[in-house]
Amino acid sequence: MNIDALRINRFPPAFSRQQPQKPLDLVKWRGETKGPENTLRSRPCNVFGGIIQNSQGKYLLVRGRQSGKWSFPKGHIEPNESELECVCREIKEETGIMNLPNPLRCIPLRAGVYYLFWLPEDITLDPRDKREIEEAGWFSEEEAAQLRMNIDANTYFMNRRTTANLYGQVPSH
């Protein structure tokens, strides 16, 4: 394994997939590794969300009203909606963010597929869907580690901590 390759300024390939040239042709199936023989099992994915980080290194998380858990903004795809359209709609509904830059890449996690965005500044959050979202906020990785999070947020931050422990740094995106 080329350890030096992991020190370059990008998210490790073990936890990410490069953004396809055509965003609307994104993966409709996500693979899961099963067992030591590394066999691949695919199943349809209809949950899509956004991982949003700002220039201060803080992540946008929302707390679900029903579960009380913090997560990345996400939701189910609607008929005739592309994955990216779903992500943008959910982020708008759950955080009030109206405009997003192009996503940096696509990251499959345990229960969904997430687009990674980077914002150059803090944006005031104003959740519009008060039935589903109790609150939204910006959190550092250390602050997020203290929160009760859903499986995908836990997986994402655990992967970042594991990489930092193995290679002595937390990779940037």
Using the predicted structure, report yes or no on whether residue 20 has a pLDDT greater than 50. no
Question: pLDDT tens digits for 86-104?
Answer: 999 999 999 999 989 999 9
Using the predicted structure, report yes or no on whether residue 56 has a pLDDT greater than 50. yes
Lowest mean pLDDT among 19-23, 89-93, 128-132, 148-152: 19-23
User: How far is 5 from 35, CA to CA, in rounded Å?
Assistant: 27
Would you state the CATH architecture of domain 15-166?
Answer: Alpha-Beta Complex (3.90)
Q: Given pLDDT bands bounded at 50, 70 and 90, which one contains residue 167?
A: low
Phi-psi label, residue 71: left if phi above 0, alpha if psi -120 to 50, beta otherwise: beta
User: How far is 25 from 130, CA to CA, in rounded Å?
Assistant: 32
CA 106 to chain centre: 8
User: How far is 32 from 165, CA to CA, in rounded Å?
Assistant: 24
User: How far is 20 from 25, CA to CA, in rounded Å?
Assistant: 7
Residue-level pLDDT at 168? 56
Q: For residues 113-127, give the mean pLDDT.
A: 90
User: What mean pLDDT value characterizes the chain?
Assistant: 76
Higher-scoring residue by pLDDT: 129, 17 = 129
- Extents of the domains making up the chain: 15-166
Q: Which residue has the tokens 């193995």?
A: 166
Question: Environment class of residue 34 by beta-carbon count within 10 Å: exposed (0-12), middle (13-18) or buried (19+)?
Answer: exposed
Q: Given pLDDT bands bounded at 50, 70 and 90, which one contains residue 122?
A: confident
Please provide the size of the chain in residues.
173
Q: Which residues pair with 19 in a beta bridge?
A: none
Q: For residues 24-38, give the mean pLDDT.
A: 35
Identify the sign of the CA torsion 7, 13, 15, 21.
positive
**Which tokens sit at 116?**
């990674």
Q: Given pLDDT bands bounded at 50, 70 and 90, which one contains residue 43?
A: low
Residue-level pLDDT at 23? 36
Q: Which residue has the tokens 């199943």?
A: 43
Specify the 3-state DSSP secondary structure of 163: helix
pTM: 0.71
Residue-level pLDDT at 173? 53
Q: For residues 5-33, give the mean pLDDT.
A: 37
Q: Given pLDDT bands bounded at 50, 70 and 90, which one contains residue 163?
A: low
Closest C-alpha among 46, 9, 7, 14 to residue 30: 46
